[in-house]
Amino acid sequence: MLDRLGAGRRLMDRVALVTGSARGIGAEIARAFHEEGARVVVTYRREEERARALARELGDALCLELDVTKLSSLEKVFGTIDECLGSLDILVNNAGHLAQEPFLEITEASYERTLDTNLKGTFFATQAAARRFEAAGSGVVINIASVGGQFGGPKAPHYSASKAAILALTKSCARILGPMGVRVNAISPGFIRTEMIQHLLEDEEREIAAGLPLGRIGEVGDVAAAAVYLASDDAAFVTGQVLNVNGGQFMG
């Protein structure tokens, strides 16, 4: 049955770049794509050792340093992929920065880091990928947004604003790139057990879980499964959509 549905080869030989994939959701998406046959490019900003260990786990995957806030860094990574792998089929804009801080205390530096990582990084990585996808006549972009961008998370307004902007960017790019054969979708996770929200879960896991219709915190595999679906031909007629992976926290 599994074989008939094509499990294990839904992304066979596709080249996938996952930004911020040394840990957390990005690392699990990289693993899931690899299991489906993709050639994954792992990227790290600070955690080179962790990223290299993951790359080894994925059969000596290409492992590159990438700071998505810098165009020069993005250009270098896309150039290396051109040289080493010759094509790109899937881009996952996963790299993200969350700083939970009171609105009145947010500095210009914190605002810029948040917006530059989440929005500028997604924007220019998508632009670089689109150049390759246009030439190929196909491609997939998956943007990792956040439930905070949908209902206005109260603890990190700069983060929420950046994630809301990603949802608008997703829809604009779906319209612009659709005629080129490129699909652009977003995944909007709720509470997912990663280092990003570790501090929150240490204090409030039971309370948070109790407030969700499904009664539990999400796991990285929940998001990775959604990413595999959107990246695969199973989603061939799906573009400009937001796939909520949030245990029912927000329904819209």
Ligand X SMILES: NC(=O)c1ccc[n+]([C@@H]2O[C@H](COP(=O)([O-])OP(=O)(O)OC[C@H]3O[C@@H](n4cnc5c(N)ncnc54)[C@H](OP(=O)(O)O)[C@@H]3O)[C@@H](O)[C@H]2O)c1
Q: Annotated active-site positions, please?
A: 146, 159, 163
Choose between 179 and 213: whose C-beta lies nearer to ligand X: 213
Name the minimum Å distance from CB 23 to ligand X: 5
122 binds ligand X (CB under 6 A): no
* Of the residues 63, 191, 224, 243, which one makes contact with ligand X according to CB under 6 A: 191
Identity at 200, one-letter amino acid code: L
Q: Is 245 in the site for ligand X (CB under 6 A)?
A: no
Whole-angstrom Cα distance, residue 129 to residue 169?
14
* Contacts of residue 27, Cβ cutoff 8 Å, sequence gap at least 6: 21, 42, 54, 220
Length of the chain: 252
CA nearest to 67, candidates 151, 129, 125: 125
Span 145-164, contacts to ligand X by CB under 6 A = 146
Question: Among residues 36, 61, 164, 189, which is the contact residue for ligand X, using CB under 6 A?
Answer: 189
Under a CB-based contact definition with an 8 Å cutoff, are residues 95 and 110 in contact?
no
Among 150, 160, 185, 194, binds ligand X (CB under 6 A): 194
Range in contact with ligand X (rule: CB under 6 A) among 4-12, 42-50, 125-133, 233-241: 42-50
Q: Which two tokens stand for residue 211?
A: 């407030």
Q: Describe the strand order of the beta sheet including 182-189 as a list of residue ranges.
A: 62-65, 39-44, 15-18, 90-93, 139-144, 182-189, 242-245
Q: Which of 41, 64, 98, 141 binds ligand X (CB under 6 A)?
A: 98
Residue 10 as a binder of ligand X (CB under 6 A): the answer is no
When the beta carbons of 35 and 65 are compared against ligand X, the nearer one is 65
96 interacts with ligand X by CB under 6 A: yes
Using CB under 6 A as the binding rule, whether residue 95 contacts ligand X is answered as yes
Applying CB under 6 A, does 81 fall inside the site for ligand X?
no
Alpha helices in 38-186 (DSSP H): 48-57, 71-85, 108-115, 121-136, 148-151, 157-177
Specify the stretch interacting with ligand X by CB under 6 A; choose among 4-12, 41-49, 205-213, 232-240: 41-49
C-alpha to C-alpha distances, 214 to 1, 82, 188, 230, nearest whole angstrom:
28, 43, 16, 22
Residues 123 and 197: their CA atoms lie apart, in Å, by 24
Q: What tokens appear for 229 in the block? A: 């679906």
Choices 19-27, 100-108, 126-134, 205-213; region in contact with ligand X by CB under 6 A: 19-27
By CB under 6 A, name the binding residues for ligand X: 19-20, 22-26, 45-47, 66-69, 94-98, 117, 144, 146, 189, 191-192, 194-197
